[in-house]
Amino acid sequence: MDYNKLSPQEERVIINKGTEMPFTGEFYKHSEKGTYTCRQCGAALYLSDDKFDSGCGWPSFDDEIEGAVKRVLDADGRRTEIVCANCGGHLGHVFEGERLTAKDTRHCVNSISMDFVPGQKEQAKTETAILASGCFWGTEYYLKKPEGVKSTTVGYTGGHVGNPSYEQVCTGRTGHAEAVKVVFDPTRVSYEKLLKLFFETHDFTQLNRQGPDIGEQYRSVVFYTNDEQKAIAEKLVKTLSEKGYTVATTIEKAGTFYDAEKYHQDYYHKGGGTPYCHIKREVF
């Protein structure tokens, strides 16, 4: 993928995760209406309506465009880094619990990580699907392919332990499933189309396993976020049952989703190769 050419100063921050000096960035006191975009890839990140003056010395936002920003725990576990969901470029860090705005969130962003497009653009409507079908590397591999998918994040959900690690989930004692959160544009790809792809890329008849991966964390689950998604999932399961399949997939209300460690994200995209237990075939 072609990205914008970066200056040495931009590379220091965006690629090497540096930090610009406080109170020096071009967007620190910037108040024009418009959209802040990623300097490396051009993806829209923040709307000016969500920018506020926190007095910290860097541009601050209390919300992001849905699916545009990923959170990654720093190696020391003390802070949460924010990166562009499209290209992985470093933006800054996010903080919660400061009570600076009603949303109680502060995205502290380096000006040098961003560009600005004047004129407030209407934020495109997006929806979120959360699906589990065995090892989340393979699930993500297929679900990030359809046109209209804006971002994918692998993680853990459906369990009873807060902010679990991969090692904890692998014990099978946290109750979590390895899952993928998909943010998509419903005008370009429907939830039903994504759900059909989900069913067609794993063996939904297997209980608590997928191929050689065995355990509750590898179970097949549709985590619905609204009643419409629930109805679509129930319809497709009924269709599969009528075709003679014994469907092991459960349909559960979505709960807290915890992002997995950075090295799990976009695993096959970054390392090459193809899934070992997810194969595309037609079932509908």
CATH number at residue 65: 2.170.150.20
Among 58, 48, 65, 54, which residue's Cα sits nearest to residue 23?
58
Paired tokens of 122:
């209407």
Q: What pLDDT is recorded for position 214?
A: 96
> CA-to-CA distance for 137 and 206, rounded, in angstroms?
18
Counts of helices then strands in the chain (DSSP H, E):
6, 17
Domain span at residue 148 reads 127-271
| β-pair partners for 141 | none
Q: What pLDDT is recorded for position 58?
A: 97
- Residue 50 near residue 124, CB atoms below 8 Å: no
Q: What pLDDT is recorded for position 124?
A: 56
Whether 107 and 136 share a structural domain: no
Q: What pLDDT is recorded for position 78?
A: 86
Among 140, 129, 91, which residue's Cα sits nearest to residue 113?
91
Q: What pLDDT is recorded for position 74?
A: 84
| Active-site residue list | 108, 135
Q: What pLDDT is recorded for position 146?
A: 94
Domain count, the chain: 2
Q: Max Cα separation, the chain?
A: 65
Is 195 a member of any domain?
yes
Q: What pLDDT is recorded for position 93?
A: 97
| β-pair partners for 209 | 214
DSSP 138-173: HHHHHHT-STTEEEEEEEEESSSSSS--HHHHHTT-
The whole-model pTM stands at 0.64
Backbone angles phi, psi at 45, to 5 degrees: -115, -50
| β-pair partners for 92 | 82, 109
Whether 86 and 176 share a structural domain: no
- pLDDT means per 10 residues in the chain (284 residues)? 87 96 96 94 92 96 90 86 94 95 95 90 74 97 93 94 94 96 90 97 97 96 95 97 97 94 89 88 94
Is 229 a member of any domain?
yes
